[in-house]
Amino acid sequence: MKSYNLDQGEYVVLQCSDVGLMNDGSVDPLEEVVLTNKHLILVANVFEGVFRSSRYLKRLPLEQALDDMGVPRTAVTKVRDNYLLNVAFEDETISLCFSGLSGGSATAARRWERAIANAAVGDLDGIDAGSELGDTVGDLLEETKGAVGALFGTAGQSRKKAEQYQRPISVTKRCVGCHAPIVGRKGAVVTCSYCDTKQTL
Alpha-carbon distance 40 to 125, whole Å? 17
Q: How far apart are CA 178 and CA 113, in angstroms?
A: 38
Report if residue 39 sits inside a domain: yes
**Structural domain count of the chain:** 2
CB 176 within 8 A of CB 182: no
- Condensed to tens digits (0 to 9), the pLDDT of residues 14-54 reads 988 888 888 877 888 898 999 999 999 999 887 777 777 78
Model confidence pLDDT, tens digit, residues 130-144: 654 444 444 445 555
How far, in whole angstroms, is CA 30 from its chain's centroid? 16
Instruction: Look at residue 86 in the predicted model and tell me its pLDDT.
Output: 93
pLDDT at 103 over 50: no
Q: In this structure, what DSSP letter does residue 83 have?
A: E
Residues 145 and 174 reside in one and the same domain: no
Residue range(s) defining the domain that contains residue 98 = 12-162
* 151 assigned to some structural domain: yes
Same domain as 186, residue 142: no
> Is the domain of 112 the same as that of 179?
no
Q: Is 32 exposed, middle or buried (CB count within 10 Å of its CB: 0-12, 13-18, 19+)?
A: middle
How confident is the model at residue 140, as a pLDDT? 47
- Give the global pTM: 0.62
Q: At 130, which amino acid appears?
A: G
* Of 2, 42, 35, nearest in space to 117 by CA: 35
Q: Are residues 26 and 99 in the same domain?
A: yes
Angle between helix 106-120 and helix 132-152 axes, rounded to 10 deg: 110
Instruction: Say how far apart CA 185 and CA 61 lie, in whole Å.
Output: 18
* 156 and 189 inside one domain: no
Question: What number of H helices and E strands is found in the chain?
Answer: 3, 13
